[in-house]
Amino acid sequence: MFLKLILSLFLVSSVHASVVEEGFFIFDKEGKNLKLLTSHKEITIDHKNNRGYEAYGPKGLGKYLEMLKIDHEELAEMTEGNKDLNGYPTPKEIEAKLKKLALGNESFLKLFSIGKTHEGRELWMVKLSDNVELNEVEPEVKYIANMHGNEIVGRELMVSLLEELVSKYKSGDKEITDLINNSEVFIMPSMNPDGAKAKRRGNGQWADLNRDFPDFTTTDNSNDHKGREPETQAIMKFQAKHKFALSANFHGGSVVVNYPWDTHSDDAPLTSLIVDLSKEYAFEVPEMRNSSRFQDGIVNGFRWYHVDGGMQDWAYFYYNDLQVTIELSDHKWPNYSEIPSFYEDNRVSLIKYLNRVHQGAGFYFPEAKKAKGKVEIKKLKSLPTDVVTSVGTYPFSDGEFYKVLPEGDYQYKIILDNGQIKTMKAKIQFKADLTNGNYLAL
């Protein structure tokens, strides 16, 4: 009865997402209250460390914690006196920056909106490619930042990255020219401009967007966008139209690369590859590389703290889009003057990770673009002592498939829905000139 009385204070307005109107740091270094708090779907746990963890929820969470005598303090980011943007651009000013960047660069940069927020702001996406108006048969890679509105560093780094990519492409830099000419690169600086404007975690309805996606381990496991937040729906519809093979999303509150699964204790497919990619990113970032908390600057999501409804696991499970979550800063809203140093620390890794989309192989059917089926991938022997191992079976549609894989020799067995079977062999080896992101016509 007591629990029902307290939980009746939680006015949940979202069908799927957690509502995050109140936020506290829970002093619980031994985690003795975690089981109780995580038993309530209304409560979101985040950024566990050696002192405790953050807890978010709808109005009433603070009273609940007080009545249970759980040691806590209100997070500074949640107080009304902490809403000044402290020199950071407004969403409108970010929009103006992106439009200025697009002006005169339309041959290789396209700025477009994939939807609108609760408060009517555009959700801007940037595409970089040498034939930017075409949907070419090239590997697709994407970055998404600022899905938690108060985690601002990622938004600023995406703008800085776009400025560098444009400048270097125009100047003929080989690495950037190869990347843009042989890939389709998509960058979204802010998935939650409403939250950024209000300097809060949630969107315009206080919903936590990184708890709003379908989750294969819960009852909310239908890959259906209905009833979700408009920002989530926009990403889901956009993803369904593309063939992303590699992605990352950017957060703040720690400095680490978080890799899937977040929602399940089992290893994700190709975990060794994901770990290698995560380590490569972390190695170039001094604070990640030298971390005293996270070995090699990386962490498995579930072993850190359990997340249901996250974008990372949704993209990988439902779309075979290998995605990691990159935490960029201990302070979610640091002094604006620190942004150049954050970018300098991350710029090499940001570009390297984009390039890794070319460590893969795929196929397409030029005369059967609607072809659907599945592909069975096996890793072949490199040495007489090696064994042929199964990588997995993956669906494909629209006559196209591409997958990032560890280096080595592979066989693709392609089984079309009409019963036809085709096979191809691919040698995957990462090269700096990016020529091996190969599609083979069948």
Q: Measured between alpha carbons, how far is 143 from 323 in angstroms, rounded to an integer? A: 9
Q: What is the SS3 assignment for 233?
A: helix
Helix residue ranges per DSSP H, 68-216 = 91-102, 153-171, 174-181, 193-198
Q: How many CB atoms lie within 10 A of CB 242?
A: 14
DSSP 206: S
Which burial class, exposed, middle or buried, applies to 340 when counting CB atoms under 10 A from its CB (0-12, 13-18, 19+)?
Answer: exposed
Longest dimension (CA), the chain: 69
140-145 and 184-188 strand pairing? parallel
CA pair distance 427, 394, nearest whole angstrom: 19
Contact 318, 214 (CB under 8 A): yes
Structure tokens at 435: 């020529």
Angle ∠(377,381,386) on CA atoms, nearest 5: 120
For residue 271, the SS3 value is helix
- Whether the Cβ atoms of residue 184 and residue 138 lie closer than 8 Å to each other: yes
d(CA 311, CA 237): 13
- DSSP string covering 311-334: HHHHHHHHH--EEEEEEEESSSS-
Q: At 260, is the secondary structure helix, strand, or coil?
A: coil
CA distance 172 to 177: 6
Element (H, E) at 415: strand 408-416
- Angle, vertex CA 220, rays to CA 217 and CA 221, nearest 5: 60
Query: Which secondary-structure segment (H or E) carries 74?
Result: strand 72-74
Question: 175, 327, 338, 407: which one is catalytic?
Answer: 327
93 is catalytic: no
Active site residues: 327
